[in-house]
């Protein structure tokens, strides 16, 4: 029996908003550690200002209305109620596209890029490039979370979303796009469900950080290996705690909006192409909409689970396997890892498009929605005849 989707509209109770404001008013900030601001984590002065705005200046209802402007649904699938946006393309033959976020993101990442994908003519593009976009809240994230529900590793997320696209929505063949865990999930789909995929487009490649280096690395390969080593030394503390003691961390972040904001905003600053000024790229209303969604849904603990599963199980692309479906890659200059094509080709065997981007970082759909949409369209354009 095919699960039946139900229309969905987000409406956080007034009492939950009032409770949040009370908690924000009672925030007890730590002192600032010695050294440069942000060097040891989130800057106290910045966060204090952000929290004051969250309490008295941020309009959640406006953010909520912006999300509710898109058609949304939930469907009982794989033991959870899966939430997703389903936006029909405006063109002669829209291609179905599965659009996937990562951590610490949400469907709020996609509100600027979806209209460019579904209605390119509105932005001066070709209606023949239109996509019908399905953008789920990943299982365990945001509106795809309820307390006590099953936890999902990347492998289970991929199976669930393949079922959504084919078994529920009837898209027997579709494209997939993502970064962060969304990129890992797209890559896993390419291994586990290649027959369903027209192609995958990524802005983060799923390359093992511990894979053996080339015997005689080129200068570009050497640069990448040094970047990975630096990343592993200085930037992976969050992975270690989220991957080993996610439950303990969840107590703090699920109870303190200040703690939650500090944990998330530090990543948006560090991983974006913002030259240290996070709000030059991510206006605070947009930052807080994403953070508030984690807060109101209580999903931060469940969102850690892919890290735990990855550290206690196999890599999502099994040892000895490759991703053989057509691949497009947008190489944003401030992405957290920027491999050379020669290393990527060891995992992805059918790279059709590899584009160095001018600006942008880890949150590409938020930072550079026009550039990302154009790149997605360009990659899938020659593959559109393969939609069956």
Which active-site residues does the annotation give? 180, 308, 362
Structure token digits, residue 338? 């920027």
Structure token digits, residue 183? 């990129």
Considering only CA atoms, which of 184, 174, 175, 177 is closest in space to residue 202? 177
Task: Quote the CA–CA distance of 269 and 271 in Å, as a whole number.
Answer: 6
Task: Quote the CA–CA distance of 227 and 189 in Å, as a whole number.
Answer: 27
Backbone angles phi and psi of 369, in degrees to 5: -65, -40
Task: Quote the CA–CA distance of 206 and 315 in Å, as a whole number.
Answer: 9
Dihedral angle over CA of 138, 140, 145, 147, nearest 10: 170
Please answer whether residues 188 and 155 qualify as being in contact, where contact means their C-beta atoms are separated by less than 8 angstroms. Answer: yes
Considering only CA atoms, which of 203, 204, 272 is closest in space to residue 38? 272
DSSP string, 78-92: TTEEEEEEEE---SS
Please answer whether residues 261 and 50 qualify as being in contact, where contact means their C-beta atoms are separated by less than 8 angstroms. Answer: yes
Considering only CA atoms, which of 110, 132, 118, 276 is closest in space to residue 178? 110
DSSP-derived 3-state class of residue 126: coil
Structure token digits, residue 218? 């080129």
Strands 131-136 and 95-100, sheet pairing = parallel
In the DSSP assignment, the letter for residue 245 is -
Using CA of residue 179, residue 62, residue 88, residue 72, what is the dihedral sign? positive
Neighbours of 36 (CB within 10 A): 8
Q: For 52, what's the count of Cα atoms within 13 Å in the CB-facing half-sphere?
A: 7
> What proportions of the chain, in percent to the nearest 5, are helix, strand and coil?
50, 15, 40
């Amino acid at each position: 029996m095919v699960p039946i989707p139900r229309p969905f509209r987000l409406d956080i109770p007034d009492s939950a908003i009032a409770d949040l404001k009370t908690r924000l008013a009672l925030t007890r900030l730590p002192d600032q550690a010695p050294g440069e601001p942000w060097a040891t984590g989130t800057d106290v002065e910045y966060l204090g200002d952000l929290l004051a705005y969250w309490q008295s200046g941020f309009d959640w209802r406006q953010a909520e209305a912006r999300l509710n402007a898109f058609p949304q649904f939930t469907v009982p699938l794989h033991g959870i109620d899966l939430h997703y946006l389903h936006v029909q393309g405006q063109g002669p033959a829209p291609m179905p596209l599965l659009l996937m976020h990562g951590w610490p993101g949400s469907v709020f990442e996609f509100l600027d890029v979806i209209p460019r994908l579904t209605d390119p003519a509105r932005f001066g593009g070709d209606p023949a490039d239109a996509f019908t976009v399905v953008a789920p809240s990943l299982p365990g994230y945001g509106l795809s979370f309820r307390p006590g529900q099953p936890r999902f590793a990347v492998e289970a997320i991929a199976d669930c979303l393949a079922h959504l696209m084919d078994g529920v929505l009837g898209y027997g063949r579709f494209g997939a796009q993502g970064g962060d865990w969304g990129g890992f999930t797209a890559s896993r789909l390419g291994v586990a469900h290649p027959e369903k995929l027209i192609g995958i487009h990524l802005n983060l490649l799923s390359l093992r950080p511990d894979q053996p280096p080339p015997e005689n690395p080129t200068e570009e390969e050497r640069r990448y290996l040094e970047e990975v080593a630096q990343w592993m030394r200085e930037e992976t503390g969050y992975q270690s705690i989220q991957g080993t003691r996610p439950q303990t961390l969840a107590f703090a972040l699920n109870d303190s909006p200040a703690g939650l904001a500090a944990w998330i905003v530090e990543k948006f600053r560090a991983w974006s192409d913002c030259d240290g000024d996070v709000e030059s790229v991510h206006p605070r209303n947009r930052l807080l909409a994403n953070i508030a969604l984690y807060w109101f849904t209580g999903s931060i603990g469940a969102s850690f689970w892919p890290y735990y599963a990855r550290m206690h199980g196999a890599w999502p692309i099994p040892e000895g396997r490759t991703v053989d479906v057509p691949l497009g890659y947008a190489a944003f200059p401030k992405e957290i890892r920027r491999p050379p094509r020669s290393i990527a080709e060891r995992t992805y065997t059918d790279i059709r498009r590899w584009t160095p981007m001018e600006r942008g970082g880890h949150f590409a759909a938020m930072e550079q929605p026009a550039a990302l949409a154009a790149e997605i369209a360009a990659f899938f354009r020659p593959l559109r005849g393969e939609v069956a």
